[in-house]
């Protein structure tokens, strides 16, 4: 067991305390603060609990239990900072709900990707465990997400993410300010494809390594908003809407099942 904050201590970055989250053990972690309210309301009766920096927090109810929805902002550093403080106020299960770019033909726009592991193309996780240490999801949480997607007949894929600190060079995008991708990353998209990785995003490797280093659980579910086998562009808003409707439904069903099972 790690450090637990006093019930009324408001933590510096996330701006919330243990008593404000009413015993919540699960946190859903979208990147975008703008997605928190809708996600919390989709789970059940919800109320805002805090808003500081990139961390917007709402508390919702699933099967009579409090569930926190807290944004993390983009990329590993803010994920790790949020997780450090969320763990101190009692969160034990971290489920990222985000967006992603598919790198395989079979993974379509609007589909769901459930990541069982991630390539550590981030910097933050190196501060928690050496590069040889794997970034892997909780089997229990991942299975619950898969089962929920199956039950709801949502198109989903399970596989490995490539978690990059950058949206452009690390994901081998050339439509950047300079158009340059450094030599070491040129051809990297093809290599990840050949190795069977499914998607690019920016948070999952950090999430998995930090959770493992805490002895806590993490999983990741993303909606596909870019299809890199066709284009470097992010798809229009209707795809984003479809993807987010789907990951909301799946995350809610998985939480219901986990909480009903007393997990």
d(CA 197, CA 92): 28
Does position 111 interact with ligand URA (CB under 6 A)? The reply is no
* Choice from 111, 172, 201, 257 touching ligand URA (CB under 6 A): 201
Beta-carbon-side half-sphere exposure of residue 150 (alpha carbons within 13 Å):
8
**Which is the catalytic residue, given 9, 13, 52, 232?**
13
Does position 240 interact with ligand URA (CB under 6 A)? The reply is no
Does position 78 interact with ligand URA (CB under 6 A)? The reply is no
> Cα 259 vs. chain centroid, distance in angstroms?
19
Q: Please choose, out of 55-63, 78-86, 95-103, 187-195, the segment that lies near ligand URA by the rule CB under 6 A.
A: 95-103
User: Least distance in Å: CB of 200 to ligand URA?
Assistant: 5
Does position 133 interact with ligand URA (CB under 6 A)? The reply is no
**Which is the catalytic residue, given 54, 65, 85, 203?**
85
d(CA 144, CA 219): 10
b or e along 91-128 (b: 16 or more beta carbons within 10 Å of the residue's beta carbon)? bebbbbbbbbbbbbeebebbbbbbbbbbbbbbebbeeb
* Choice from 60, 78, 93, 99 touching ligand URA (CB under 6 A): 99
Does position 119 interact with ligand URA (CB under 6 A)? The reply is no
| Main-chain dihedrals φ then ψ at residue 127, nearest 5 degrees | -80, -10
Does position 200 interact with ligand URA (CB under 6 A)? The reply is yes
> Cα 74 vs. chain centroid, distance in angstroms?
10
* Choice from 80, 91, 118, 226 touching ligand URA (CB under 6 A): 226
């Amino acid at each position: 067991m790690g450090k637990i904050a006093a019930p009324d201590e408001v933590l510096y970055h996330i701006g919330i305390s243990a008593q404000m989250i009413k015993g919540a053990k699960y946190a859903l972690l979208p990147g975008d603060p703008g997605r928190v309210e809708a996600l919390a309301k989709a789970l059940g009766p919800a109320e805002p609990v805090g808003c500081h920096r990139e961390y917007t927090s709402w508390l919702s109810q699933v099967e009579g239990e409090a569930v926190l929805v807290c944004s993390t902002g983009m990329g590993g550093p803010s994920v790790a900072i949020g997780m450090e403080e969320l763990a101190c106020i009692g969160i034990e299960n971290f489920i990222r709900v985000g967006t992603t770019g598919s790198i395989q033909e079979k993974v379509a726009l609007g589909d769901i990707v459930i990541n069982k592991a991630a390539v550590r193309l981030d910097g933050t996780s190196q501060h928690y465990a050496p590069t040889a240490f794997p970034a892997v999801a909780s089997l229990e949480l991942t299975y619950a997400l898969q089962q929920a997607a199956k039950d709801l007949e949502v198109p989903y894929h399970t596989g490995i993410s490539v978690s990059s600190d950058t949206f452009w060079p690390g994901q081998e995008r050339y439509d950047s300010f300079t158009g340059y991708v450094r030599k070491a990353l040129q051809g990297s998209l093809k290599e990840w494809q050949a190795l069977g990785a499914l998607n690019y995003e920016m948070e999952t490797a950090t999430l998995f390594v930090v959770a493992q280093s805490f002895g806590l659980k993490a999983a990741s579910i993303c909606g596909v908003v870019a299809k890199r086998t066709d284009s470097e562009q992010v798809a229009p808003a209707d795809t984003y809407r479809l993807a987010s409707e789907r990951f909301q439904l799946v995350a809610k069903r998985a939480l219901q099942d986990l909480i009903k099972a007393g997990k």
